Amino acid sequence: MSLRVKPEEMKAVFLEKLKAHGATDEAVAEECAEIMVENSVNGVYSHGVNRFPRMISYMDKGYIHPEQRPTLVQSFGAFEKWDGNLGMGNTNARICMDRAIELAKANGIGCVALKNTNHWMRGGQYGLQAADAGCIGICWSNTQPNMPAWGGVDCRIGNNPFILCVPKEGGHLMMDGAMSQFSYGKLETTRLAGKKLPVIGGYDTNGNLTDDPGEIEKSQRLIPIGYWKGSGMSILLDMIVTILSDGNSVCEVGKLGGDEYALSQIFIAIDADRTTDRREVLLNAIIEDVKSSIPVSEKSSPRIPNERSNRVREENLEQGIPVDERVWETILAL
Amino acid sequence: MSLRVKPEEMKAVFLEKLKAHGATDEAVAEECAEIMVENSVNGVYSHGVNRFPRMISYMDKGYIHPEQRPTLVQSFGAFEKWDGNLGMGNTNARICMDRAIELAKANGIGCVALKNTNHWMRGGQYGLQAADAGCIGICWSNTQPNMPAWGGVDCRIGNNPFILCVPKEGGHLMMDGAMSQFSYGKLETTRLAGKKLPVIGGYDTNGNLTDDPGEIEKSQRLIPIGYWKGSGMSILLDMIVTILSDGNSVCEVGKLGGDEYALSQIFIAIDADRTTDRREVLLNAIIEDVKSSIPVSEKSSPRIPNERSNRVREENLEQGIPVDERVWETILAL
């Protein structure tokens, strides 16, 4: 059963719970609640309302230190290295993308490498933040080991979500994708719905490729996007974020005891307001060309990344955010 | 039949042919020949010796203007916009990555967006160039439309190769991958060898997924890495390169008559020499962790991106570059 919760009501509840569990800094609690509601409004429930209980539990366990704010470690002009001080992951990320945007407005491009931070929830949020400022947003995070490298059986690499975002009137365009073909969240919801995955998603416990989500949950053998290609990209993204932030790599995060904290992230902004005066024309030409493809079927025609999210947003703002009743009860009882 | 050609002999032949076909600028001819030999030494024959005849034909057709050099259009500190003036693609790319490196050494990060350029051959070459200077190298190019968007049947998006490179003693680490699961070159060589692809690579003419390279060549329906994910990433990479360079998008390149020229590219360098004093330790820990995975089989254990290339390089430097006899005859007759 699902109910609809108005964004302002959800935010009030989040604020109350955050404060009750140690987010004593008013600004941190306010921003954190705002981002969690925004992710939910945008339809990314897995990294919004559905993830809220786990965020609170990480505060209770002492992984997240909501009283801490990120601090500057090193500055080289358009590049800065920050320490997240294990503060709230989403507010840390917002601060660092804000800083990357400031650097981009001053230098054309800006980059912030962040260590000792926590799960940023929906990475796309920070891409959209850059785009709101007229910037290209490029960012990624490492994760705990949650996927085998191509050729291996046990989880050694991260799904390291990677975000590319382009500013556009009427709704920014964005690719926000993990290096695994599917997330564990998607496997679970597909299994609970009694369905198969739309394409092969990993291996079963006998080592055969399968589209059965439950079998992949058992084997923990997710496949990377493009097999060896996504595996290689995951490893490189981890290497870059690790040596630029001087922070934890995926394998170091894996040594922390099974929970996912003390991560490393990269935020790049490039000022797109000064590079061309025909941005809308150029982007519309690309969009129209892709949409004029011959469709595979009536049900399946090419999509422009993030278009669906823009539609979902309007619906959720109007009707309220759809929330599973049990999830909402859990949150109210926190 | 394959023979081995010493790098210095190959370079002398390339130089002679380039000059005979209009590369009158000594420095351009020298650099171009050097890069084509380098790509071949590194085992990327498809974008080295095997591609040389097509490069010469593009010079003959007037797509490549080897007498032209790239020129600065706009500068915002750490970001610069350049015009390739339809010069040689690989020398243009080298100049622009050099400039991105200079900007990174001055500002921590540097970015060059390049329009009106030509095929850069092996994109990874410019990642390695950044890494040689102690920088992270990130670069990508758009292409002609050569792949359907996810949900579409006809070719509307590019395979837009994307490169991530990390500097490391003893051999840099790199991911250099197109957004298609396989290149047309790979389809052809696999078909000629009478083999199947190692995984599903696209659709046959009946719309069914297949690992038969010949069937995919007929349908021209390559699949993107990770299906919708690689499709989205391809579109975003094209949008970013187009609005930052103010140059041609994939669809505009597609209107040029079927050949691939007047492309747009991005070069990003981030100075990794100043961000940590334990780079080798951090990278070795990641490499050792991935390599200590439980292997899928004795034949297949996890690989570190670019390791094979480093081994091939040593072999080719010692024994000469393996070249198909007919390819070498074609080149000698140019």
Which residues from A are below 8 Å from B80, CB to CB? 108
C-alpha A63/C-alpha A65 separation (Å) is 6
Task: Indicate which of A156, A173, A228, A243 best probes the interface with B, i.e. most B CBs within 10 Å of its own CB.
Answer: A243
Assess whether A173 and A247 both reside in one domain.
Answer: yes
Q: Which residues, listed in sequence order, are joined to residue A180 by a DSSP beta bridge?
A: A224
Assess whether A202 and A118 both reside in one domain.
Answer: no
Out of A104, A113, A175, the one facing B232 most closely (by C-beta) is: A175
Query: Percent helix, strand and coil across chain A, each rounded to 5?
Result: 45, 20, 35
Structure confidence at residue B117 (pLDDT): 98
Report the gap between the CA of A129 and the closest CA in chain B (Å): 16
Q: Kindly report the average pLDDT of chain B as a whole number.
A: 95
In a domain, A188, yes or no: yes
In a domain, A61, yes or no: no
Nearest to B212 by CA among B199, B225, B226: B199
How many distinct structural domains can be found in chain B?
1
In a domain, B314, yes or no: no
Which residues from A are below 8 Å from B104, CB to CB? 79
Is the pLDDT reported for residue B227 higher than 90? yes
Of A1-5, A290-294, B19-23, B185-189, the range with the lowest mean pLDDT is B185-189
C-alpha A298/C-alpha B332 separation (Å) is 52
Report the gap between the CA of B1 and the closest CA in chain A (Å): 30
Phi, psi of B97 (to 5 degrees): -70, -35
How confident is the model over B257-306, as pLDDT tens digits?
889 999 999 999 999 999 999 999 999 999 999 999 999 988 888 988 88
Is the pLDDT reported for residue B16 higher than 90? yes
Contact yes or no for B173 and A235 at CB 8 A? yes
In a domain, B247, yes or no: yes
Q: What is the DSSP letter of B257?
A: S
How confident is the model over B163-178, as pLDDT tens digits?
999 999 989 999 999 9
C-alpha B177/C-alpha A225 separation (Å) is 12
Contact yes or no for A108 and B227 at CB 8 A? no
Which residues from B are below 8 Å from A227, CB to CB? 181, 199
In a domain, A150, yes or no: yes
Contact yes or no for A152 and B302 at CB 8 A? yes
C-alpha A117/C-alpha A96 separation (Å) is 11
Contact yes or no for A294 and B226 at CB 8 A? no
Assess whether A118 and A239 both reside in one domain.
Answer: yes
Contact yes or no for B302 and A231 at CB 8 A? yes
Q: Which residues of B are catalytic?
A: 47
Contact yes or no for A152 and B181 at CB 8 A? no
Coil/strand/helix, residue B121: coil
Is the pLDDT reported for residue B186 higher than 90? no
Report the gap between the CA of A228 and the closest CA in chain B (Å): 9
Assess whether A199 and A119 both reside in one domain.
Answer: no
How confident is the model over B41-96, as pLDDT tens digits?
999 998 999 999 999 999 999 999 999 999 999 999 999 999 999 999 999 999 99
Quick one: closest CA in B to A254, which residue?
A: B289
Structure confidence at residue A1 (pLDDT): 76
- The CATH number of residue A206's host domain is 3.30.60.50
Assess whether A160 and A209 both reside in one domain.
Answer: no
Structure confidence at residue A244 (pLDDT): 98
Quick one: closest CA in B to A110, which residue?
A: B109
Which pairs from A28-35 meet CB under 8 Å and 24+ separation? A28/A66, A28/A67, A28/A69, A28/A87, A28/A88, A28/A91, A29/A66, A31/A90, A31/A91, A31/A94, A32/A66, A32/A88, A32/A90, A32/A91, A35/A90, A35/A91, A35/A94, A35/A121, A35/A125
How confident is the model over A163-203, as pLDDT tens digits?
999 999 989 999 999 999 998 888 988 998 899 999 989 99
Quick one: closest CA in B to A250, which residue?
A: B286
Establish whether this prediction's ipTM goes over 0.95.
yes
Q: Which residues, listed in sequence order, are joined to residue A74 by a DSSP beta bridge?
A: A81
Structure confidence at residue A192 (pLDDT): 87
Q: How far is CA A22 from CA A11, A13, A327, A329, in A?
A: 17, 15, 21, 21
Coil/strand/helix, residue B67: coil
Which residues from A are below 8 Å from B279, CB to CB? 243
The domain containing residue B127 runs over which residues?
2-180+224-273+325-332
Out of A108, A111, A232, the one facing B77 most closely (by C-beta) is: A108
What does the pLDDT profile of chain A (334 residues) look like in tens digits? 789 999 999 999 999 999 999 999 999 999 999 999 999 999 999 899 999 999 999 999 999 999 999 999 999 999 999 999 999 999 999 999 999 999 999 999 999 999 999 999 999 999 999 999 999 999 999 999 999 999 999 999 999 999 999 999 989 999 999 999 998 888 988 998 899 999 989 999 999 999 999 999 999 999 999 999 999 999 999 999 999 999 999 999 999 988 999 999 999 999 999 999 999 999 999 999 999 999 998 888 898 888 777 789 999 999 999 999 999 999 999 9
Which residues from B are below 8 Å from A82, CB to CB? none
In a domain, B132, yes or no: yes
Is the pLDDT reported for residue B189 higher than 90? no
How many CB atoms lie under 10 A from the CB of residue A197? 18
Nearest to A223 by CA among A215, A231, A234: A231
Assess whether A208 and A113 both reside in one domain.
Answer: no
Quick one: closest CA in B to A299, which residue?
A: B151
DSSP string over A238-306 = HHHHHHHHT---HHHHHTTSSS--SEEEEEEEEE-SSS-S-HHHHHHHHHHHHHTSPBSSSS-----TT
Model-level pTM? Answer: 0.97
Task: Indicate which of B238, B239, B303 best probes the interface with A, i.e. most A CBs within 10 Å of its own CB.
Answer: B239
Is the pLDDT reported for residue B148 higher than 90? yes
Task: Indicate which of A267, A290, A300 best probes the interface with B, i.e. most B CBs within 10 Å of its own CB.
Answer: A290
Q: Which of A277, A292, A321 is the last residue of a domain?
A: A277
Tokens 């910037």 correspond to what residue?
A135
In a domain, B209, yes or no: no
Contact yes or no for A296 and B240 at CB 8 A? no
Which residues from B are below 8 Å from A78, CB to CB? 77-78, 107-110
Quickly state the pLDDT bin for B309 (edges 50, 70, 90): confident
Q: Which residues, listed in sequence order, are joined to residue B2 by a DSSP beta bridge?
A: B324
Structure confidence at residue A310 (pLDDT): 76
C-alpha A304/C-alpha A285 separation (Å) is 12
Which residues from B are below 8 Å from A309, CB to CB? none
Out of B175, B244, B294, the one facing A275 most closely (by C-beta) is: B244
Q: Are strands A135-141 and A162-166 parallel, antiparallel or unpaired?
A: antiparallel
Report the gap between the CA of A114 and the closest CA in chain B (Å): 11
Quickly state the pLDDT bin for B184 (edges 50, 70, 90): confident
Assess whether A136 and A169 both reside in one domain.
Answer: yes
Report the gap between the CA of B322 and the closest CA in chain A (Å): 25
Structure confidence at residue B58 (pLDDT): 97
How confident is the model over A90-100, as pLDDT tens digits?
999 999 999 99
H-helix segments, B61-179: 89-107, 124-132
Quick one: closest CA in B to A178, which residue?
A: B229
Contact yes or no for B81 and A150 at CB 8 A? no
Assess whether A257 and A147 both reside in one domain.
Answer: yes
- The CATH number of residue B100's host domain is 3.30.1370.60
In a domain, B108, yes or no: yes
Out of B106, B251, B276, the one facing A289 most closely (by C-beta) is: B251
Which residues from B are below 8 Å from A278, CB to CB? 246
Contact yes or no for A111 and B174 at CB 8 A? no
Name A125's Cβ contacts closer than 8 Å, sequence gap at least 6: A35, A38, A39, A42, A90, A93, A94
Which residues from A are below 8 Å from B232, CB to CB? 175, 177, 303, 305
Quick one: closest CA in A to B290, which residue?
A: A156
Structure confidence at residue A329 (pLDDT): 97
Assess whether A76 and A206 both reside in one domain.
Answer: no
